[in-house]
Amino acid sequence: MKKEMIFLVFVVFLAGVVSADVYVGTTEGHISNTENEIVSGAFVRATSDQCVVQCSQETASDSGGYYVVANLNLPKRETVTVYAEKMTSLGLEFGTNTGTANDFQAAEVDVTICLPPPAPSLVDELNTHDTSVTLDWTSYADKKSYNVYDEFKIDSRDIVEDRGYGNKHEDVDGLSYAVHTWQVRTCNQFCCSEWQFDSFRVGNSAPSASELVIQEDTTPREVTLDWVSGVDSDGDETYDEYCYGIIDEEILCGVAEAPEIETAFGCNYYLWKVRTCETYTEHLCSEFSESGFIACGLSCPDCSSGEGDRRKVVEDISTLFVSSSGDILPNEDLGLDISFFSSVGEENLLFEIDSSEFQFENFILEGLDKGKRVVFGLIGKPYSIVEPGLYNLRLDAMSGGKVIYSEPFAVEIKEPPLLIVDIFRSVRASESRWWIVLIVVFVVGALAFLVLRMIKKGKLKFLSGNWLNGK
């Protein structure tokens, strides 16, 4: 068995050797330089372009600059590429040429090797905001004194030629806000240097956010909304977009300059916001800066219609705001959130709810400093069963026994989803009547037990099938 395996390996190896020997493609020619001088001792590689195995063979040119490559897998009428190079005192000279095999699988290809000009030196272009730039580089003379020219290219634009060598530049405009790559190489009439590359970014930043001057809660009146516009770090011209309106309703936006004077009326929460945008370039904008305030109608019992009193109302900016919890069911406690602000400060404050349906504990505050706000909650318990509907209440703020601010508001009592829910909530609302409910439950249970017992004994035939059949 071992002998058979050894024989099989030998056959496979021999087949490979025989297979390698059957390629009869050849390529020959002469190697010379750009001065039409023969080049001996040049390295030569011939490669068959349409090939899988035995595709390339190497050799060297002889004293007459002649080379020949045999045993090449080169089918007839196929292309062969020949590369040659030689290191000289001036540098590495190299070149390529192609040829086509004849019907005898032979090709003749001469190669001229060339010494490329020195590669240019590019001046690194810094990142910029400008869409027009000037790109600088330096190219050098050819070592064999051939005339040279530079090829310049940026991104996918066409190549631009520039004759001669030395310090050069190219003006480029119409650049987009992106990363750009430019490249230069120096050529003579025979060959070119390697491309030299450089990249830079043309960037654009959005302006910074606007800074809003906070507008405190106020009475219905004219308000002055002021802000500091954002700044564009690129130095672009900017404008502000301004929006104003009642929250959850239509908010109107437009171009504006600080400050803006608006009219606040009714009892509403007003939203306003500003952002800064570029006038030109990409029209980038900052994020919106938002703020809001409450303007609510308050009665002033001591104010008359005189001019002096009207000035007092404007100068004494105080607000009283009430909000109630939603989805209130009959006989449930009523929760209120209350916010009070005083621009002048108050002492010995008493907050009292006027209601015939709910009982509230008064809230007492010894004092409130100028320009401060107090937020607190009040819980109202129903006096009796409160039917579903809309109820009008009033919150009075009192100081020294006098009402200084008064805020009317409404609460809505919802329909209960189920009767049984209303029963249990009524029980919770009036613990003094719990025993009545227990008696009712006991009586209903006892009656149900007696009825079921009589049906089982047949004493209530009107509930049986016989009664239904008229018997």
Confidence of residue 19 (pLDDT cuts 50, 70, 90): very low
Specify which residues 244 forms β-bridges with.
252, 272
Looking at 2.60.40.10, 1.10.1370.30, 1.10.3720.10, 3.40.50.2020, the CATH number of the domain 211-295 comes to 2.60.40.10
Residue length of the chain: 471
Specify which residues 114 forms β-bridges with.
94
Which is more confidently placed, 312 or 171?
Answer: 171
What is the Cα–Cα distance from 179 to 199, expressed in whole angstroms?
Answer: 7
For helices 434-456 and 419-429, the axis angle rounded to 10 degrees is 140
Architecture of domain 317-413: Sandwich (2.60)
Q: And the tokens for 19?
A: 């297979």
Q: Name the least confident of 209-218, 257-266, 318-327, 379-388.
A: 318-327
List pLDDT tens digits, range 324-355: 766 677 778 888 888 887 767 788 888 898 88
Nearest in space to 365 (alpha carbons), one of 343, 379, 380, 345: 345
CATH topology of domain 121-201: Immunoglobulin-like (2.60.40)
Nearest in space to 220 (alpha carbons), one of 295, 292, 286, 116: 295
CA atoms within 13 A on the CB side of 223: 24
Share the mean pLDDT of the chain.
Answer: 83
Q: What is the pLDDT of residue 325?
A: 66
Name the pairing type of β-strands 43-48 and 56-60: antiparallel
Per CATH, domain 23-113 is 2.40.50.140: no
- List where CATH 2.60.40.10 sits in the chain: 23-113, 121-201, 211-295, 317-413
List pLDDT tens digits, range 154-190: 999 999 999 999 999 999 999 999 999 999 999 999 9
Q: What is the pLDDT of residue 130?
A: 94
Asked if 294 and 269 count as a contact pair (C-beta separation under 8 A), the reply is: yes
Neighbours of 43 (CB within 10 A): 16
